[in-house]
Structure 1
Amino acid sequence: MQRVSSVFALDIADSNTASLAGGVTLSVHCLVPCVLTCYWGCALGAVHAVLQGHARRLPTLRSPQQMEMALGGDYLHREQFAISKDEKVLQRVELPDALRGGDLGGVPRLRYPLVVLLTHAEHRPQPRAPDMVALLTCVHLPDPVHSVSCRVLHQLLLTHSGLSYDLKRLFMSTDAPEDSQSDEGVTSQVLPEVRAEGQVAAQDEEDGDGRGGACRDCVVCQNAKVNRVLLPCRHTCLCDHCVQYFRQCPMCRQMIQFSFPLNPD
């Protein structure tokens, strides 16, 4: 398994209240100067064509200009913001008044409510092959026709070589059920570091403050810190010692095919 670092992190800060009419707050953290570009109402086919072009390196997607050329203007509105190096930002994005109050049609939809692109702000003439050049996030926002709450539909890390890593959420127990994102007392986190073979993300930012995923107690011994991600279920619930005694996930009983550490060190 290969460990590949990413400089991009993006999530939804207000998933319970965000909507197509009211807008959404994006939580953004970049380790280098970046450009945050938001495309409202992107056609599904156009977004998929962009990703196919990236995979074929026609060319690889590295800038908002390339994104807009590939989309061919097939979106309703565009916003752009500068994100400074090492800055954690809560960025509010909204449709203009003239476009609010509508909907994107019935299900299945032909447009993504919101597509967010994070790219490097500075030109990089010769990036290395494994370098991450963009983070593409497709977001669902509820409207009068489709009322399912806001959530990330897809999040892809794009590399200079044309590869795409599909980030998956890791599931771990929470100490505060009232703040949980689900009814089962389980919180899901997207963590901005990719293990290339498993295509699962991991984040090291909160490891030292007692709130990050790696600081939870193992559900078995309740003593050591959680540090193992179980695949394919993606439950993050065991320490390095206890994992060796389990063939099935203690949370869902699914067979464990593979596991990897959140923090290899």
Structure 2
Amino acid sequence: MLVAMTAMLVSVAELTNIISVVAILLCFCGMVLFIMKNMTIFWLHGEDFMFGGAVHNVQAPIPQMKMMKVHIPFTFKLQDSSRSSYQEIKCMVSSQENYRLLAFWGVSIRELHMFLWRPWSVISSAINQGVLLMGHYQQRGYEIKDVSHRDKIITMSLPKGPREPLDLGTPPRLCYPLVIFLVREPRDALHPDETVALINVVHIKDSVCTLPTSILAQYLKQANGQLSCLKQLYLATGNPVSYESGLEFVEGVDQLCVVCQYYPLSRALLPCRHTCICASCFNKLDTCPMCRSPIKSYFCIRNEEYLPECDRPGAPSTKPEPIAQWLQDRLTDFLGFHR
């Protein structure tokens, strides 16, 4: 009996030692986890602790503007604008359709813009009846009907009459010096998105307003009544190149990205309208590389199939995950933090 009790006490003593060892091990593991947890927090947020909770702003992705491709059958450019005057102004016109050119001198700014927003049926009827902008211009200029042709130079001058010279008012003026309509001749059926008229507003240098002669604005009228203001894109100069890889050129865009000097430029930046970078470099920038203004949005001027599949914006990364990053992510998951 005494031997049995002695054996039982020895067993209890050994069990107590085992429990003590297990308890010590558990405490040690808990301490290690606690230290690792706090080290991880300090690793991830140590800058906030040391420098008073700095805020890290995450830049939102720059939105893409959805642009609709519109075919414009007309082109209108000024020639020798430095020498232009009311006595002689030269312009170059081309058209892919039979068209009519109508010129008006001294057009009321307010009435012109109100008229342009009217439905195309109303504008077309006024053209056919010869009452376009009636009462809202000072002199009627040339009216030309022509068939489609390539670049042709047309010389215009202010008609001599009782109202010469034009009364445009003091700056800011109430009238445009010259407005030229290029109107497509009517056909049986027109698609609603087809371009039916190109309206060109021309400023002519004079003694009152000495700004150089130039095209102030160009407006595009579609058959559905939509009115759009055409704005110039600013391309990077130089860099003509022929690609060995067979990349396609789109409407003369044959210049290289100003950043990488490898891929062709394909994106127009807004609001500065500089067209100077490719899709690969776009995601690395938040300001325009030409003028340093912030990039608010953009639109594509050509397809971007020239990029390898892995380099296209939004494509999944094929690079292996670094071991250090993998260990950090696993440890963060184990300790119950959100990545």
Call closer, same or farther: CA 1:240–1:92 in 2, change over 3 Å.
farther
Report deviation, 1:113: 0.4
Question: Which structure has greater helix proportion?
Answer: 2
Question: What whole-Å deviation, never above 9, does each CA across 1:144-172 have from its counterpart, x for those lacking one?
Answer: 21111112222110011111011111112
Call closer, same or farther: CA 1:66–1:88 in 2, change over 3 Å.
same
Aligned residue in 2 for 1:105: 169
- Contact 2:141–2:159 at 8 Å: present in 1 too? no
Aligned residue in 1 for 2:271: 232
Report deviation, 1:132: 1.1
Bigger relative contact order (CA 8 A; separation at least 6): 1
Question: What whole-Å deviation, never above 9, does each CA across 1:192-227 have from its counterpart, x for those lacking one?
Answer: xxxxxxxxxxxx65x1xxxxxx12232112233322
Aligned residue in 2 for 1:201: none
**Which piece of structure 1 moves more, 62-71 or 108-117?**
62-71
Report deviation, 1:111: 1.3
Task: Give the secondary structure class of the aligned counterpart of 2:90.
Answer: strand
- Contact 1:50–1:70 at 8 Å: present in 2 too? no
Distance 1:35 1:27 in 2: 15
Report deviation, 1:60: 4.3
Aligned residue in 2 for 1:216: 255
Instruction: With the length of structure 2 as denominator, give the TM-score of the two structures.
Output: 0.60
Q: Does 1:126 align with 2:157?
A: no
Residue identity opposite 2:76 in structure 1: L
Question: Which structure has greater strand proportion?
Answer: 1
Task: Give the secondary structure class of the aligned counterpart of 2:117.
Answer: helix
Aligned residue in 1 for 2:200: 137
- How many residue pairs get aligned? The number is 226
Aligned residue in 1 for 2:102: 37
Aligned residue in 2 for 1:248: 287
Report deviation, 1:245: 2.1
Call closer, same or farther: CA 1:16–1:249 in 2, change over 3 Å.
same
Report deviation, 1:103: 5.7
Aligned residue in 1 for 2:93: 28
- Contact 1:119–1:134 at 8 Å: present in 2 too? yes
Where in structure 2 are the equivalents of 1:79-98 lying within 5 Å? 79-98=142-161
Call closer, same or farther: CA 1:226–1:23 in 2, change over 3 Å.
farther
Residue identity opposite 1:240 in structure 2: A
Q: Does 1:115 align with 2:179?
A: yes
Task: Give the secondary structure class of the aligned counterpart of 1:74.
Answer: coil
Report deviation, 1:124: 1.6
Instruction: With the length of structure 1 as denominator, give the TM-score of the two structures.
Output: 0.75
Question: What whole-Å deviation, never above 9, does each CA across 1:24-73 have from its counterpart, x for those lacking one?
Answer: 2222221212112111111223312311323xx5x343377259524124
- Contact 1:26–1:91 at 8 Å: present in 2 too? yes
Aligned residue in 1 for 2:69: 3
**Which piece of structure 1 moves more, 95-104 or 28-37?**
95-104
Call closer, same or farther: CA 1:162–1:249 in 2, change over 3 Å.
same
Where in structure 2 are the equivalents of 1:147-162 lying within 5 Å? 147-162=210-225
Distance 1:263 1:28 in 2: 26
Please, which runs of 5 or more residues in structure 2 have no aligned partner? 1-65, 239-249, 305-339
Report deviation, 1:86: 4.2
- Contact 2:201–2:216 at 8 Å: present in 1 too? yes
Call closer, same or farther: CA 1:60–1:6 in 2, change over 3 Å.
farther
**Which piece of structure 1 moves more, 96-105 or 251-260?**
96-105
Computed over aligned residues only, the root mean square deviation of the Cα atoms, in angstroms, reads: 2.6
Distance 2:144 2:175 in 1: 23
Report deviation, 1:253: 1.9
Distance 1:125 1:44 in 2: 33
Higher CA-based Rg? 2
Call closer, same or farther: CA 1:128–1:102 in 2, change over 3 Å.
closer
Q: Does 1:52 align with 2:117?
A: yes
Residue identity opposite 1:36 in structure 2: L
Identity %: 30
Aligned residue in 2 for 1:200: none
